[in-house]
Amino acid sequence: MSKTLTTNQSVSFKKKLVATAVASAMMGVSGFAFAQEGVMEEVVVTGIKGSLQRSMDIKREAQGVVDAISAEDIGKFPDTNLAESLQRITGVSIDRANGEGARVTVRGFGPDYNLVTLNGRQMPASGIEDTTAAASRSFDFSNIASEGISGVEVYKTGRASVTSGGIGATINVLTSRPFDNPGLKASFGVKGVMDQSTDKGEDITPELSGIYSNTFADDTFGVSLSASYQERESGSKTASTGAGWYSSPGNALYDGDWGQAGAAWGAIPTNANQVNRPTSADEIYSIPQQLKYDFNEVQRTRTNGQLALQYRPVETVTTTLDYTYSKQDFSQQYNDLSAWFGWNNNFTGISTVWTDGPIASPLMYAEENVASDYAMGAGAYSRINENKSLGLNVEWAATDRLTLEFDAHQSEAESRPDGKNGSHNVIGTTAAVRGKSSAFFTDKFPVLQIALSNGETSVNPEDIRISGSSFRNSYTLSEIDQYQLKGTLELDNDFTINLGVASTTVENTGRFANVQRDTWGGVGQAGDFDSSYWHSSGVASEFDLPGSNDPRTVNQTYLFNFEDVRKRAQQLYGADAGSTAPGDCGDWFCPSTDYKNGTDRFTKEESESAYIQFNKSVDIAGRALNTVLGFRYESTEVTSTSAANTFDIVKWVSDNEISLQSSVDREYVSDTGKYSHMLPSLDVSFEVVDDVILRASASETIARPGYNDIQAGASLGGQAGFNGGNGSRGDAGLLPYESTNYDLSAEWYYNDASYLSVGYFKKDVQNFIGTRQIRENFYGLRNPTSGPRYRAAVAALGSGASVSDIRAWIIQQGGPGVDGTNILALPEDDLLEFNVTVKSNEKEASIDGWEFAVQHVFGESGFGAIANYTMVDGDIAYDNLSLDEQFALLGLSDTANLVGFYDKDGLQIRIAYNWRDTFLAGTGHGTGNPNPVYVEDYGQVDINVSYDINDNLTVFAEGINVTDEYTRSHARTKLQLMNMTQLGPRYNIGVRYSF
């Protein structure tokens, strides 16, 4: 930058540079680096250096803290989707699903606290959960390929002119428009993907992408069309504790006598078989509910497309009509082997070895039973995620100083099942031959050892029977209609005013239905299925994880084809009644679309907003002090409607499981809420010396609660245990999270593509949603495990009788309420109480942190490096020693990126390392009481190499997760494994032609 500019010249220059930088960021498409025409000078830098320079210019000339990535920068990383591109930005980290980036965390605020816009328009979000209706507002970036995106802007500070809804950041995704880069431009690419994680998929799957852009009639009409098609076949292998952990205070006792002092459900004995068992009330011990090995295969097809039409009938009017489409077809098949621990069923057979307290974890946990279930399951399901957005924009330069803009769009995001088997499912099988089951947690990999009770060394396929099953349908539809009118008034070269109004309607539908059979102990007779249905397989040999080669690991399971077994089971047992209403096929071997009997909720949010923003530049000692002061007002009305549970049947279906069922139609209930906010923002920047910029920002921003939080009525789970059931109650009147934000930063731009920056941020957030649990009975439901029959069984069998013996005694006695292997609740039984989670705005928290970034190009050598590190801290952490329901900040973690690159003489090499430290991902997991889930630190190395054969043809190769890293999560200590997943590297080769 010139060192002798006057104030007016400086301001004017800055405006031009901002326009140039933004236009540059929007020019290309990822992987399609057009030879770009000069705007300010004849010489234009391209390649990696050019893209870094354009992104740096956006950061430099922005008001507030803004980071950006341009098309070329996106394309030179081997990123599978847009989330993986975003993780390269300082302060941005991602959550992964099936080895791909899916959702984004910014400065410690998770996906629900960040707003995604497309060309400045608020985008809807949808998703599917396995066992419940989706409730998140988070945008799933795995639906968006990196190809087809011209740039991304991440606004980390609040701004009056930016749509509200993100307190971590607002992420604006830009698509290509023909007037941004006039003339004929086209590029086409083909890529072959070799995913090493799949055992059954194709060796190579295709990816195709292309863009065509052209302008006509003296650049008064333009067309831009981009499309991509990607197939991927992948797999994963997971060891987990499934249903999680149950934690108890050390003095919790249960030696088989329900009436003893201090008796607690889920506690273990204090006999000689328990080594180093904690006994103090100041200690905690946790036991696993399950140990499970999963083997997954996934097929994913992703289709993206963007069309933009632009027309400029006169010099002062530009009209843009654009349509964006994405679709992801997802299919998964899995088999699993698991051991379910019964805890209280046989105390004489429990043996444990414990670490020292105060949080004791089992080094070994073992149960010995006779003819228990050797459980194997399978599932096969498909889903579709589809996004559509149609927008119209008209920009009119009414005068030399006044510009008006009208923008409207209708967008929707839909996630739905695909196929006859629902969005998720499982069919269980069992062989009643499991004897002693031992779980060892001394290494990172959990070891499951099983001894058969029949004295055999292997499971006979003729002993395998069908057990329970579940067919689930989850559906989400989110729709947004948004209308915006904006204006920019330039009073003089130093002072402009931005103002606008908007009307936004967001409608969200969330549904879930479950069709379930609770015959988990087995149904029919051994031999009902021909042995050809079952395919013997090893277990330990499938894993390549630290500790997975332990010789004690069970090494036999039977894999089976889900659809073949489903059809045969339907023939044999289709007439048998299940525990829920039947599916659409009339029996219990298919899913249901009668969502009224599950979860069926609808939310409508109508918002009106207005903003005004003043942009002023003041000369101080020959330098410009730039100030942006804005005010945004928003008012929102909320209407929530949902179907309320009306259970009227309670069945004791297995030793530790109670099923709730309904024979009557559900009722719909509604709730409303309303709130308004005035959101001020202030950004100040000053170039204290040449190329050194200081910034200060303050703002207030909001993020709205999840859809389950504002759901009308109570939602009760369909399962209960000895200690009752669980449920939750939402409130449409909940207020948004409100954050007061402060930012300070210093940036030194010491070369045309090199800079150094350091920034501090602080966010004081109120209205976090807290929860408390109350005990409540609904509809007069009774508990079949607590009443005269249960007490009579204890009296007859003695206080040391196991739950299994008590249940068998009641069934043997027969009488009212006994239906085969199910025990129905009777009016004389005790009331069944529910732990109901009630939500309210009651929590406050502060988050602060530091961001460090350096980008350096080593002269004309072609070498360069990028490094950034983000430190995040909060004032509310999870207390692992507490068994109470807790509020804690999720997603807080340090993150880092280190990138080295070379770009010269047509050869481009980029090696990138991305790292995220351990973070708290959840607080409500577990059986019977809440437990934390910590995702352990994870780092990944990706590589991209390309070579320009000539000005038009480029060949490239990519490697993703080349060091074959795995993911792992745990509960209160690292020994309390939650999940450990083996993924595998991916390699791509391809060619791209541009003209």
Mean pLDDT across 257-281: 75
* Integer Cα distance of 93 and 542 in angstroms: 30
User: Is residue 90 within 8 Å of residue 960, measured between CB atoms?
Assistant: no
| Helical packing angle, 788-797 and 803-813, nearest 10° | 110
User: Is the pLDDT reported for residue 88 higher than 90?
Assistant: no
* Sequence-ordered strand ranges (E) for 398-493: 402-417, 424-440, 447-452, 465-492
pLDDT for res 647:
86
State the chain's mean pLDDT as an integer: 88
DSSP letters spanning 750-809: EETTEEEEEEEEEEEEEEEEEEEEEEE--TT-EETTSSHHHHHHHHHH-TT--HHHHHHH
DSSP, res 62: S
User: Is the pLDDT reported for residue 492 higher than 80?
Assistant: yes
User: Is residue 658 within 8 Å of residue 784, measured between CB atoms?
Assistant: yes
Domain at 35, CATH number: 2.40.170.20
Mean pLDDT across 198-209: 93
Please report where in the chains the tokens 């540079």 appear, as a residue: 17
pLDDT for res 347:
54
Look at residues 406, 418, 518, 540 and name the one whose alpha carbon lies nearest to residue 475: 418
pLDDT for res 714:
79
Of 5-19, 751-765, 873-887, 949-963, the poorest mean pLDDT is in 5-19
Task: For residue 805, give both structure tokens.
Answer: 């013996």
Q: Please state, in angstroms and as integers, the Cα–Cα distance from residue 695 to each residue in 291, 687, 760, following that order.
A: 52, 9, 10
pLDDT for res 159:
92
Confidence of residue 506 (pLDDT cuts 50, 70, 90): very high
Confidence of residue 73 (pLDDT cuts 50, 70, 90): low
Mean pLDDT across 177-205: 93
Task: For residue 322, give both structure tokens.
Answer: 């654009």
DSSP, res 331: E
Percent composition of the chain: helix, strand, coil (DSSP 3-state, to 5): 10, 55, 35
Range of the domain at 765: 7-241+295-336+379-422+473-515+597-778+835-994
pTM: 0.86
* Integer Cα distance of 340 and 352 in angstroms: 16
SS3 595: helix
Task: For residue 264, give both structure tokens.
Answer: 């607690």
Task: For residue 388, give both structure tokens.
Answer: 């559509």
Confidence of residue 245 (pLDDT cuts 50, 70, 90): very high
- Within a domain: 564: no
Mean pLDDT across 803-809: 90
Task: For residue 976, give both structure tokens.
Answer: 């309390």
* Integer Cα distance of 191 and 197 in angstroms: 18
pLDDT for res 72:
62
Look at residues 151, 143, 147, 162 and name the one whose alpha carbon lies nearest to residue 64: 162
Confidence of residue 66 (pLDDT cuts 50, 70, 90): confident
Buried b (16+ CB within 10 A) or exposed e, 389-422: bebebebbbeeeeebbbebbbbbbbbbbbeeebb
- Within a domain: 356: no
SS3 692: strand
User: Is the pLDDT reported for residue 681 higher than 80?
Assistant: yes
Q: What is the pLDDT of residues 120-131, one digit of tens each?
A: 999 999 999 998
User: Is the pLDDT reported for residue 656 higher than 80?
Assistant: no
Task: For residue 544, give both structure tokens.
Answer: 């390549």
- Within a domain: 413: yes
User: Is the pLDDT reported for residue 670 higher than 50?
Assistant: yes
- Within a domain: 458: no
Mean pLDDT across 916-929: 83
Mean pLDDT across 932-940: 95
Beta strand pairing status for 350-354 and 290-314?
Answer: unpaired
Higher pLDDT, 30 or 947: 947
Q: What is the pLDDT of residues 396-446, one digit of tens each?
A: 999 999 999 999 999 999 999 998 999 999 999 999 999 899 999 999 999
pLDDT for res 78:
57
Residue 372 sits at φ, ψ, to 5 deg, of: -80, 175
User: Is the pLDDT reported for residue 779 higher than 90?
Assistant: no
pLDDT for res 607:
97
* Integer Cα distance of 504 and 115 in angstroms: 14
Which amino acid is present at 823?
A: I
Confidence of residue 946 (pLDDT cuts 50, 70, 90): very high
Task: For residue 3, give both structure tokens.
Answer: 């060192």
pLDDT for res 887:
85
* Integer Cα distance of 748 and 887 in angstroms: 40
User: Is residue 648 within 8 Å of residue 664, measured between CB atoms?
Assistant: yes
DSSP letters spanning 266-317: T----STTEET----TT-EEEEESEEEEEEEEEEEEEEEEEEEEEEEEETTE
pLDDT for res 256:
53
Higher pLDDT, 490 or 265: 490
pLDDT for res 75:
53
- Within a domain: 446: no
Please report where in the chains the tokens 């929860």 appear, as a residue: 771
Residue 916 sits at φ, ψ, to 5 deg, of: -135, 130
Mean pLDDT across 463-475: 95
Of 169-183, 241-255, 822-836, the poorest mean pLDDT is in 241-255
Task: For residue 8, give both structure tokens.
Answer: 């007016």
pLDDT for res 305:
95
Tell me how many domains the chain contains: 1
User: Is residue 693 within 8 Å of residue 684, measured between CB atoms?
Assistant: no
Mean pLDDT across 672-691: 96
Q: What is the pLDDT of residues 708-744, one digit of tens each?
A: 899 888 778 788 887 788 888 889 999 999 999 999 9
- Within a domain: 452: no
How many C-beta neighbours within 10 Å does residue 660 have?
A: 24
The percent of residues in the chain predicted with pLDDT above 90, rounded, is 65
Of 96-100, 332-336, 420-424, the poorest mean pLDDT is in 96-100
- Within a domain: 443: no
User: Is the pLDDT reported for residue 822 higher than 50?
Assistant: yes
- Within a domain: 148: yes
The percent of residues in the chain predicted with pLDDT above 70, rounded, is 92
Which amino acid is present at 108?
A: G
**Angle, CA of 647, 652 and 654, to the nearest 5°:** 130
pLDDT for res 71:
66
Whether the bond into 358 is cis, omega within 30 of 0:
yes
Mean pLDDT across 377-389: 97
* Integer Cα distance of 438 and 457 in angstroms: 16
Confidence of residue 261 (pLDDT cuts 50, 70, 90): low
User: Is the pLDDT reported for residue 304 higher than 80?
Assistant: yes
pLDDT for res 79:
63
| Side-chain-side CA neighbours of residue 614 (13 Å) | 8
Higher pLDDT, 260 or 601: 601
**Element (DSSP H or E) covering residue 379:** strand 362-397
Task: For residue 830, give both structure tokens.
Answer: 């005790």
* Integer Cα distance of 903 and 883 in angstroms: 55
DSSP letters spanning 852-892: EEEEEE-TTSSEEEEEEEEEEEES----TT--S------S-
Mention every residue, 6+ apart, whose C-beta is less than 8 A from residue 856.
751, 754, 864, 865, 866
Look at residues 426, 428, 433, 427 and name the one whose alpha carbon lies nearest to residue 373: 433
Which span out of 18-27, 43-52, 148-157 was modeled with the highest average pLDDT? 148-157
Q: What is the pLDDT of residues 947-975, one digit of tens each?
A: 999 999 999 999 999 999 999 999 999 99
Of 75-89, 544-558, 790-804, 896-910, the poorest mean pLDDT is in 75-89
